[in-house]
Amino acid sequence: MNELFGSSRLARGLVSSSAWLCYIFLVVPSLIVIPISFGNPGQIEFPPRQFTLELYRQFFTDPAWWGSTVQSLIVACLTTLATLVLAVPAAYALARSRLPGRGGLQGLFMMPMLVPVIVLGLGLYLQYSNWGLLDTTAGLVLAHVMLTTPYIMVSVMSGLQHSDVALETVASIMGASRLRIFFRVVLPQLKASIAVGALFAFLMSLDEVVVAYFLTGTDSMTLPVKMYSSIRWELTPVLAAVSTLLTVLSLLIALGIIAMQGKTEASS
């Protein structure tokens, strides 16, 4: 079965035992929060010696936790919507046009992925403190739109590569307007890739902490910022409940993305 490292039993044993060590190291941190979250509300305890939902009660009733969660969900939803509205038409235009500055624009849209977030965080902090946008939901959403644009771009551009240009040509010959072509011919073909990009953007915005840490204050604090300061200063067991909920949500989104990606590949 194994040609890559030959048939030596010793080699195989070494490889698979160090591989398993890594699998455990990679998986345990994402899963250990679950049992802790149902355990002792007084201190972080593993293995838990009791079963209680107390930590979840504390999470949902404490305005500092629940409020920042609602704020994060609002920011993530607004970010996803705004990025879709801006980036999907732009991706379409980039893919179909033969503009001279095409490569440059594409580079501009991909750039947020390549710049260290701390640099963007500082730049936006300097800019927003001049413009009075610090600690506002609008300011944070704008920053997140910039950060999530490359991911929606990548997803939609790859969807466009699979879509059929001939259909657009046909619609155009039959007299459909460009707007109608975009909404009736192009968008329906891109449904799955747009959904993948949207889910990714939502998750990115929901988990984003560095830029949010620079831009938010007490009024607009998001969940990751609250978690960050809580891990840093108090390390309360409520974190286990928050982490469990967040992990479950992330995994659901990941499953959604994987399912949708399967769809885009099947339809091409």
Partner 1 sequence: MLLLAPLTAVMLLILIYPLGLTLWTSLYNGRFSFDAYAELASSTLFLRVLRNTFEIAVGGTLVSLLFGYPVALHLAAQPPRKRTAYLIMVMLPFWTSILVKSFALVAVFGNQGLINQFLGFVSGGTVNLPMMFNRVGVILGMINFLLPFMILSILGSLLSLDRRLILAAETMGAGPLRIFWKITLPLSMPGVLAGVLINITLSIGMYITPALLGGRQDMMVANLVDFYTRQTLDWTAASATAMVLLILSGLLVAMLGKVRGAAGLAGAGA
Whether the CB-CB separation of 207 and 30 falls below 8 Å is answered with: no
CB of 85 to partner 1, least distance (A): 8
CB of 268 to partner 1, least distance (A): 18
**Does 64 participate in binding partner 1 (rule CB under 8 A)?**
no
**Does 231 participate in binding partner 1 (rule CB under 8 A)?**
yes
**Does 214 participate in binding partner 1 (rule CB under 8 A)?**
yes
Q: What is the DSSP string of 166-201?
A: HHHHHHHHTT--HHHHIIIIIHHHHHHHHHHHHHHH
Q: Which residues contact 93 (CB under 8 A, 6 or more apart)?
A: none
Pattern 31-60, binding to partner 1, x per CB under 8 A?
-xx--x-------x-x--------------
Tell me which of 76, 239, 241, 260 binds partner 1, using CB under 8 A: 239
Runs of H (alpha helix) within 38-62:
54-61
**Does 266 participate in binding partner 1 (rule CB under 8 A)?**
no
Tell me which of 53, 64, 70, 126 binds partner 1, using CB under 8 A: 126
**Does 15 participate in binding partner 1 (rule CB under 8 A)?**
yes
How many residues touch partner 1 (CB under 8 A)? 85
CB of 208 to partner 1, least distance (A): 9
Whether the CB-CB separation of 238 and 133 falls below 8 Å is answered with: no
Runs of H (alpha helix) within the chain:
9-31, 33-37, 54-61, 63-96, 102-110, 117-131, 137-162, 165-173, 178-181, 187-207, 210-215, 223-233, 238-267
Helix, strand, or coil (residue 48): coil
**Does 176 participate in binding partner 1 (rule CB under 8 A)?**
no
**Does 256 participate in binding partner 1 (rule CB under 8 A)?**
no
N- to C-terminal Cα separation, the chain: 33
**Does 267 participate in binding partner 1 (rule CB under 8 A)?**
no
Which CB sits closer to partner 1, 73 or 89? 89
Residues 80-99 within binding reach of partner 1 (CB under 8 A): 86-87, 89-90, 92-94, 97, 99
Tell me which of 55, 76, 78, 154 binds partner 1, using CB under 8 A: 154
Only one of the segments 57-65, 141-149, 161-169, 187-195 lies at the binding site for partner 1 (rule: CB under 8 A); that segment is 141-149
What is Dmax (Cα atoms) for the chain? 71
